[in-house]
Structure formats: structure tokens, C-alpha cells
Structure 1
Amino acid sequence: MKLPHIVLVTGTDTGVGKTVTTAALASALQAKGRSVAVYKPCQSGDAAGDSDCTEITRLAGPLTAEAGVVLQEPLAPVPAAALDGVTLPPLAAHAARVRELASTHNHVLVEGAGGLLVELDADGGTLADLGRHLGRDATFVVVARPALGTLNHTALTLEALERRDLAIQGVVLGSWPDQPGALEHGNRASLGALRPLLGVIPEHAADLPPVTFREASAHWLSGVSS
């Protein structure tokens, strides 16, 4: 399935594999000769050394990767900004920067914070609202777990996007176990019936040597084309 210029990568929750999925998307697109930029509106946890942009660059190789604002505590953006005494940029500022990056790259991958409706600014704006700012130039990729509970969480995320009339490219399973059982295989089939299943990222993929990660990304994301 061909990706548009702007792809917003959201998750059904925190820790579902958004960063690794974003890195795999970047790798797969770069392998096809596409230029890629990654934008993270709000990066939390800098005091603990968390940097999704750094991790994506480590795995995917050299590319443009930047955060709109960097916050110290590993919290959602609004409480983290309050502790830092920082004013969060408005969604319009993030949208403007994404459009700037899109003017000089074939694709911009925008990685959200936590789930779809986590607030990114003081006005309650979310990644879904950022998608509205970007309009029909953008689509969403939803990263989900294969484990128990994922059907409800994924259906709720997809419904929230649909109610806002936002484009959905498909679903990626962000952490596929080495030895999946009936539960994981059943969830994989059910999620694929909800929306196109763009790919499956193996558990511990981030532990692979970066060269191996890059070579495997297109195989993992077999439902994506440039």
C-alpha cells in the first residue's frame, strides 16, 4: 500500500513499539530511494536519556530527525512541561514544521506520544488534532500489541480516527513474539480484518545490529510501498 507524504504514527498505548515501527518505516522507505524526515512533536524523558529521534537514527541510519520540544521528565507532555516550566508549542507550530519538512523530503513520519489522544499542548490538542491540521496530506498508521486486550484498544483507536474523518493507512503489530501462540495468531487475523495489516515487527527488533534491522525492515513491512 503506497504511503502519502505525511504519516502520523500513533499507538494503542505507550510501549507498543511506535519508535521501532517508525524506524522500520524509515528504513523501508530509504531502501526504496525515498528521502525521509522524522518529527516528534513532544519528546519526554530527556533527563533519563530518552530520545526517540536518536534511537530512530541509530536503527534507520542517517536521516533528518527532530523534536518540536524536549522535556525532562518521563511523563505525558502537559505534566512534563509543567514541571519544566516550559510552554508547549501550539499544534499549528508543529503542523507548520511538518509541512516545511514535507517540502524537502519525500516522506515525513510524525511519531506521537503515548496513545492517540494524549494532549500535546496547553489547549488540549492531540495527535488526532494535528492530523486535522495537516488535512488530506496526512494518514495514520496505528501500532498495536498482539497480546490480550489489543482488539479493544485497537478498535477504540480506529474508531476515534474514523469519527474525526481522518485517513487510516493501516495497522502494524509492533512487537511480535518469537514463539506466538493461538492468542497472538488469532489477534493478528482479527486486526487484519479491521484494517489492512501493514506489517509485523519482531519482538526485540531494536536489539538487532542496525544493518540487519535496515535490511529486514522492508520484509517486516511487506504491506507498505513508497
Structure 2
Amino acid sequence: MNGKQGLFVTGTDTGVGKTVIAGALVAALRAEGGNVGVWKPVQTGGLPGDGTTDAELLLKYTGMDSYAEDIASFTFEAPLAPMLAAKQAGLNITLQDILSAGESIRNRYDSVFIEGAGGVAVPITEDASTADLIAELQTSVLIVARSGLGTINHTLLTMEYLERRGISILGFILNDGLSGELCLDPSVETNGRIIEQYSGIPCLGHFPELAGEIDSKRLIHAVQATINLSPVRDALTIRKMEEYR
């Protein structure tokens, strides 16, 4: 990270809410006065223009004054793992290509959240996975996981994979916003505690379901109400605005 502070946001699977939670955390820290940005090294499943790509959503959620092309270094239309999506587009990107492409956005801010694509074992190039990118960036990891049944297994396996690679895990956040029927799943009440018990890694909170239009103001409020930001601030050496006064 060239001396910069960073935090990599990964998921236990695709579609677990990495984008909205990464955007919400960045928005909350920026609202406190932090010079924090966000980077999406590779995104797949669409092209910029209709407002639905991860980069466009991150700009909307964070309120950053930037362009989608700055946030996402590589974008591929096919809804596939980055390595396969790139091949389908006729490209063969390397890990160094990704690192070089992200230098501009990483150098623009004091701290940068990096949002991965899918989980940590997803192939992003012919010879590198998301975990390899994290190792090169030398950042800690924040894991986003589902709240309901099955998340214990998925989350513990993700943690074990990262730990075997010597990658530091800051904590995990459980996303309650993936199902309108979580109240019918009794495991939601205990999953976080059990994952903590077996891993020794802290749960930083349950991110709530947000119905209707989502904007940065609602996301900031949700983070302030449900997420323990202190470990994130400490990892990024960010102090709340009032601490400067």
C-alpha cells in the first residue's frame, strides 16, 4: 500500500452484501472527517452506465466525488469470476496490472477500503486469487457474511483460509439484509457468538435490512446504530473529527 493504510472487504460468497457494507463504512468514516476512499480492483457482471455496477453503487453510497472508472480498475460484462470474465473479453490481466491500476486511487486518500469480488479463493488472474491480491497489498481483512443458517461453516472456512496464508483478520460483520424472513431463522441470534467462540475473531455487528431507496445518509445512520467502528478506526489510524478539536 506504499505506506498507506488499507482494509480489504471480502465476503464468504458472492451476493453477501460487501458493496453496501463497504460503502456504508466508508460513508460513516468520511462523515467523521476521515480522508477515506474506496477501490474495486475488478468488477464483473455489467458495464458502467445504468448505475448498477459495484463502482457506481459505491460512489452513490459513499458520496465520493469521483468517476466509476476511477473506483473500478477493471470491469467485465460477463457475470463470472474475474479471471474467466477477463478471458471472455479477450484479456489476460496480471496481478501487477491490477496493483498498478489501483495506485492512483490508493494514493489519493489517507486510507482506502478495497472491495473484493466474491470470496477469498476466487481466481482473479490466471495464477492469482483474491487472497494473493490481499497478501500483496498487506492489508487486514474485514469479512462480510450472511446472518442466517450456514454462515458458521462459510465464515470459519474463510477465516481458516486467510489465516493459513498469514493474512490478518480484523473482524466480521453479519448482514441481516439478505432475507426478509430472518425472524424465522433462530440461528441468527447465536451465529455471531459461535463464530467468535470458534475463531477468536470479533463480530463487529449485524448490519440491518434497509428497505426502499438506499443513500449515504441512511447508511451512515445504520453503521452508527449497529456497527462497532472502533477497531476499524484503529486499524486505519483514523481519529474521529471531535478528537482533533
Question: Could you tell me how far 1:217 is from its partner in structure 2?
Answer: 2.2
Gaps of 5+ in 1: none
Post-superposition CA distance 1:140-181 (Å, at most 9, x none)? 001111111111110110001100111111001123566534
Contact 2:43 2:74 in 1 (8 A): yes
Which of 158, 183, 188 is matched with 1:184 structurally?
A: 188
| TM-score for both structures, normalised by structure 1 | 0.87
Q: Distance in 2 between matches of 1:47 and 1:108?
A: 23
Residue 14 of structure 1 corresponds to which residue in structure 2?
Answer: 14
The answer to whether the 8 Å contact 1:175/1:204 transfers is no
CA distance in 1, matches of 2:192, 2:125: 34
Tell me how far 1:63 sits from its aligned partner: 4.5
1:134-173 matches, within 5 Å, as 134-135=137-138, 138-173=139-174
TM-score when normalising by structure 2: 0.80
Deviations 1:45-93 (A, max 9, x none): 12595411111111221245511211011111122122211222x2223
Change (3 A) 1:207 1:9: same
CA RMSD of aligned residues (A): 2.3
Percent of residue pairs bearing the same amino acid type: 34
**In 1, Cα distance between equivalents of 2:8 and 2:20:** 14
Q: 1:205, 1:213 within 8 Å by CA — same for their partners in 2?
A: no
Residue 242 of structure 2 corresponds to none
Match of 2:225 in 1: 219
Matched residue of 1:103: which SS?
Answer: helix
Instruction: Please show how residues 24-35 of structure 1 align to structure 2 within 5 Å.
Output: 24-35=24-35
SS in 2 for 1:28: helix
Aligned to 1:59: 61
Contact kept? 2:41, 2:98, Cα under 8 Å: yes
Equivalent pair of 2:140/2:170 in contact (CA under 8 Å)? yes
What is the number of equivalent residue pairs in this alignment? 219
Give 1:196's aligned residue: 202
Distance 1:83 1:99, change over 3 A: closer
Does residue 210 of structure 1 match 2:216? yes
- Which is further off, 203-212 or 141-150? 203-212
Moved more, 191-200 or 206-215: 206-215
Find the aligned partners of 1:108 and 1:187 in 2 and give their Cα distance.
Answer: 29
Structure 2 unaligned runs (5+)?
239-245
- Letter matched to residue 170 of structure 2: Q
Q: Residue in 1 aligned with 2:243? A: none
Contact 1:16 1:175 in 2 (8 A): no
Conservation of the 8 A alpha-carbon contact between 2:28 and 2:219: no
